[in-house]
Structure 1
Amino acid sequence: MAAVAVAKARKWSETAMLVIDMQKEFILPGRRLHVPGSSSIVPSVITAVSTARDRGIPVIWVVREHDPYGRDVEFFRRHLYEDGNGPIRKGSDGVDLVDGLSVEDGEYRLVKTRFSAFFETHLNTVLHSIGIKNLVIVGVQTPNCIRQTVFDAVSLDYQQITVITDATAAATLEIHNANILDMKNVGVVAVELQDWIDLQN
């Protein structure tokens, strides 16, 4: 049994999971930046994270967090921060992970201020420092943060990029599916959660 466990750990030793923007501001209905349909993927993301941990796959928590006055936010969103009370601002509960998800000891939390988790962050350095060549991606939302992170990962030559289709979400299923197709067309592996779990057994 010990040998089997070692073999499984070796199989996944070059893979990391990116959990993107699973924050209250994006997930909870009624929030200004709520992504319709995002609440439905929370159980799948919880299961995906648990499976990654069981297999020794490092979990990287990618989150948005902005200056209250929007000095580090995209130009098109700055009007939301004019009163110093913008969404996903430092110190607000909107930046917190949705209930059921939490950063465990030893896991890495990366703050980004744009759609891609790689844009002007040190994510690529962190991943290379622990020998990561393959990525598994879950979270919200598909046409923005998921897609841009994936396309940057392709440009950076990560060997295999997997998107778990029922642990990612967009405003509508049509938008989600169209973006999944675009990512598949650049070599991304798109699988449902159960199929990804079965790959590990």
Structure 2
Amino acid sequence: MPRTALIVIDMLNTYTHEDAEALVPSVHEALPGIAALLKLARASESPVVYVNDNFGEWRSHHGEILRAALQGRHPDLVEPVAPDENALFVVKARHSIFFETPLAYLLGQLGAERLVLCGQVTEQCVLYSALDAHIRHFDVVVAADAVAHIDAQLAEAALRMMSRNMSAAICSADGITFDARRAD
């Protein structure tokens, strides 16, 4: 099995943005799947990479982003999926996890060939990230029960597009396996 990295997209969120209240119920539903994926990836010592918006704060780093999210409107949505001391962190400014970030380089250094995507928002950041991963020749897996949406119909269409147009495997979190640690 190719080396797999878990990518946690935008889960460190203050929930103060325009669509936050529409997003929150779906995040509650996705949280158990995200937590399960984190547990599996950590147990197998697979890379876990958080890729997160920086809320327009260009002087921020991952500790400040986490702190802001924990002080936001829904810390209960952040605490269960907070990064541990082994997590890697990439800051992004736009929808795709790859757009003008060092993520592709980092994944190359890790030897990752397969990416499991989870987080938010299915019909936005997850969709655009899956496309960018696909065009970079990564195998893409999306845990449908570990992604949150603002618009359920658009999210369902996005999952179909990822499957059909990007050859992404769409499955539940409990159907995903991570490779055991490899000696490098």
Percent identical among aligned pairs is 23
In the alignment, is the contact (CA less than 8 A) between 1:64 and 1:95 conserved in 2? no
Q: Which residue type is aligned with residue 194 of structure 1?
A: D
Gaps of 5+ in 2: 59-63, 72-76, 180-184
In the alignment, is the contact (CA less than 8 A) between 2:11 and 2:120 conserved in 1? yes
1:161-184 deviations in Å (ceiling 9; x for gaps): 100000002113222111000000
- Do structure 1's residue 17 and structure 2's residue 6 form an aligned pair? yes
SS of the aligned residue for 2:156 comes to: helix
Q: Which residue type is aligned with residue 48 of structure 2?
A: V
Q: Tell me the TM-score normalized by structure 1.
A: 0.74
Q: Which residue type is aligned with residue 166 of structure 1?
A: D
Report how many residues are paired: 167
In the alignment, is the contact (CA less than 8 A) between 1:64 and 1:113 conserved in 2? yes
1:50 corresponds in structure 2 to 39
Structure scoring higher RCO (CA < 8 A, sep ≥ 6) equals 2
CA 190–91 in structure 1, closer or farther in 2 if over 3 Å, else same: closer
1:82 corresponds in structure 2 to none
Q: Which residue type is aligned with residue 44 of structure 1?
A: G
Distance (whole Å) between structure 2 residues aligned to residue 136 and residue 67 of structure 1? 26
2:96 corresponds in structure 1 to 116
Distance (whole Å) between structure 2 residues aligned to residue 40 and residue 195 of structure 1? 17
Give 1:109-188 correspondences, 5 Å limit.
Answer: 109-158=89-138, 160-185=139-164, 186-188=166-168
Match of 1:94 among 46, 57, 69: 69
Distance (whole Å) between structure 2 residues aligned to residue 90 and residue 44 of structure 1? 22
1:133-181 deviations in Å (ceiling 9; x for gaps): 11000000011110111100111111x1100000002113222111000
Q: Which residue type is aligned with residue 102 of structure 2?
A: H
In the alignment, is the contact (CA less than 8 A) between 1:67 and 1:90 conserved in 2? no
Match of 1:41 among 30, 34, 42: 30
SS of the aligned residue for 1:190 comes to: strand
CA 187–111 in structure 1, closer or farther in 2 if over 3 Å, else same: same
Q: Which residue type is aligned with residue 60 of structure 1?
A: V
Distance (whole Å) between structure 2 residues aligned to residue 131 and residue 18 of structure 1? 14
Q: Which residue type is aligned with residue 28 of structure 2?
A: S
Distance (whole Å) between structure 1 residues aligned to residue 49 and residue 150 of structure 2? 24
Q: Tell me the TM-score normalized by structure 2.
A: 0.80
